[in-house]
Amino acid sequence: MSERKVLNKYYPPDFDPAKIPKLKLPKDRQYVVRLMAPFNMRCKTCGEYIYKGKKFNARKETVQNEVYLGLPIFRFYIKCTRCLAEITFKTDPENTDYTMEHGATRNFQAEKLLEEEEKRMQKEREDEELNNPMKVLENRTKDSKLEMEVLENLQELKELNQRQANVDFEAMLQQYKEYEEEQKRKEQEEDEQEMKAMLEQAQNRRLLVDSDSDEEPAKVHAKPVAKVKPTDILQEDPQPQAKKLKTESWERSVGTLNSKAQLAGLVTVRKPKPGATLANGTEKQGATASAGSFPTATGTTSSLGLLGAYSDSEDSMSD
């Protein structure tokens, strides 16, 4: 199976590369490239600010008849982002920078202007010294004076650094600690004085109050309270009213404490048979007496006791 991507091309035996026509392109032809704005600029048409680093689809061309040390200079065409006005700038290989050409003004180039001014002054000085030897001597004298001033300033800075290096930091810390202790001592003294003044004021106020109380007669005398011993309550008799109330509350909740049975009329006692022995009669009487003499809390309980005694007597009689 043959390869899908063939690297070698087929050349026929009668192939002649000289017969291939050459493509002739114009020297000032333009290419579309993607670039970023090399500096901050402002459009002259609408005043829109274009900041450094903004991306554009620009057209690039080679500038004709402009070369720096054999290096070609290129021109770029971009459009304003607001009004679509055309802006052009060129490369500057001499200063390794770009130069604005048309459509906008460059902003924030103070450093560049300063460098250009320094270069201009240096060039003027060289031109003056070229034809005037006295000017050369004056310039040298000025340079030597300036150098002496710079050296003196440098020496002063060195001496100042040495003085600061000789500072005893331990002594400074000790002095600061002493100052803090003195401040604390003063604060304590002030606090003590304030406390003394407050105590004196309180004592004076108390003396005034005591003197006023001695002068004024006592209007109300408190009644003497008799001292009561804890054991006196055991010796005292309960009051009759409290006793009566206690009895009434007991009768309402439990019942009357009567020895007379309320249901005594409902119970009938059979007479013993003639053949009963004396012992049985005695036992019956004892059982009846014991049942009747038991104190009950309610009438119902006493009647039940009588009924139980009656049943016991009948059992004994049957026996």
Binding residue numbers for Zn(2+): 43, 46, 80, 83
Dist CA 29 CA 32 (whole Å): 10
Q: Helices 299-318 and 278-293, interaxial angle, to 10°?
A: 170
Query: Which among 29, 27, 92 has a CA at the least distance from the CA of 59?
Result: 29
The distance from CA 161 to its chain's CA centroid, rounded to whole angstroms, is 45
Compute the radius of gyration of the chain from its Cα atoms.
68
- Say if residues 77 and 58 touch (Cβ distance below 8 Å): yes
- Are residues 103 and 85 in contact, defined by beta-carbon separation less than 8 angstroms? yes
Q: Which residue in 116, 85, 114, 119 sits closest to 102, CA to CA?
A: 85
At residue 195, what is the residue type? M
Cβ–Cβ contacts within 10 Å for residue 129, how many?
16
Give every CB contact of residue 231 below 8 A, 6+ residues apart in sequence: none
CB-based contacts of 292: which residues, under 8 Å, 6+ apart?
A: 305, 306, 309
Instruction: Give the contacts of 302 (CB within 8 A, at least 6 positions apart).
Output: 259, 260, 261, 262, 263, 264, 294, 296
Report which of 256, 259, 258, 283 is spatially closest to residue 272, judged by C-alpha positions. Answer: 283
Instruction: List residues forming the annotated binding site.
Output: 43, 46, 80, 83
Instruction: Using DSSP bridges, classify how beta strands 104-106 and 41-43 pair: parallel, antiparallel or unpaired.
Output: antiparallel
Q: What is the DSSP letter of 96?
A: T
Looking at residue 81, what DSSP letter applies?
Answer: T
Q: CA-CA distance, 303 to 294, in Å (whole number)?
A: 11
